[in-house]
Amino acid sequence: MADVLDPYRPRASLIHRADPRVKVVVAVMSILITAALPLGAWPSYVLLLAAALALSVAAQLGVGFTLKRGLIAVPFALAALPLVFSTPGDVLASLRIGPLALDASLAGVERFASVLVKSYISVQFAILLTATTRFTDMLAAMRALRIPRLLVVIFSLMWRYLFLFAHEAKTLRIARDSRSADVGPKSGGSVAWRARVTGGMVGNLFVRGYERSERVYQAMLARGYDGDIRTFALRPLASSEYAALAGAVVILALLGLLGILFG
């Protein structure tokens, strides 16, 4: 759980030290380019994946780290499975379920594989970003990129209190478990009973969250909050950082162009 909430992996690498604004822009652009690549542009996929792995090694995370974590995207990409059957083309195999005939085509398989690989590569970049950038730095980067301040404050509060909610949920679960002793063959009660208990716990969490939000707002008021959002000014990017940003953007644009023109 803590891993999901706090994916940051502290290392002393150049990538970790890079300005979060540069990293956020490059990561978002990498994801956009990956998404924009045409289907079946395999050489470009390989190049992008190689770039992600190279960064992963440079960030001292190792090759396996992002590769393994990227698997989290695979179940979502399975939503593209119908493409195998819905794309017209040379029939590879036929599946017959009663009156229904499903024809898997070669083109369909390639489409599906492309979607799978593209989503996997996109996630690599997202993982790289979150593993090498503290969330607080990411918030500053969002501010610099002119994401509405209110939204950034909401992200910040969400991140701060998510841990607390996870903790409260755990406390509630322990309280439940300590009162559900195993006394017979049918322990834990019926599904309906368990659903009711779980529903009660969710409601309980909601009420606690609601009450806490009032107290947090009072605490903000007590220190002068007046509806306006104030933060420190960010230091301007150094020229070397602009250069790094421009370099990354040019490389990514070339990769994208290559994929679109030559597949």
Binding site for other proteins (CB under 8 A): 135-136, 139, 156-157, 159-161, 163-164, 212, 215-216, 218-226, 230-233
Separation in Å, CA 156 to CA 70, 131, 169, 223: 25, 18, 20, 18
Taking the complex as a whole, the smallest distance from the CB of residue 162 to other proteins amounts, in Å, to: 9
Packing angle between helix 191-222 and helix 149-179, nearest 10 degrees?
140
Taking the complex as a whole, the smallest distance from the CB of residue 221 to other proteins amounts, in Å, to: 6
What does DSSP say about strands 100-105 and 91-97: parallel, antiparallel, or unpaired?
antiparallel
Separation in Å, CA 35 to CA 31, 115, 116, 214: 6, 9, 11, 41
**41/139 with CB nearer other proteins:** 139
**72/220 with CB nearer other proteins:** 220
- Tell me how far apart the alpha carbons of residues 128 and 241 are, in angstroms, rounded to a whole number: 19
- Single-letter amino acid, residue 106: L
Taking the complex as a whole, the smallest distance from the CB of residue 217 to other proteins amounts, in Å, to: 9
Taking the complex as a whole, the smallest distance from the CB of residue 21 to other proteins amounts, in Å, to: 17
- Single-letter amino acid, residue 179: R
Taking the complex as a whole, the smallest distance from the CB of residue 187 to other proteins amounts, in Å, to: 34
Where does 145-190 have alpha helices with state H?
Answer: 149-179
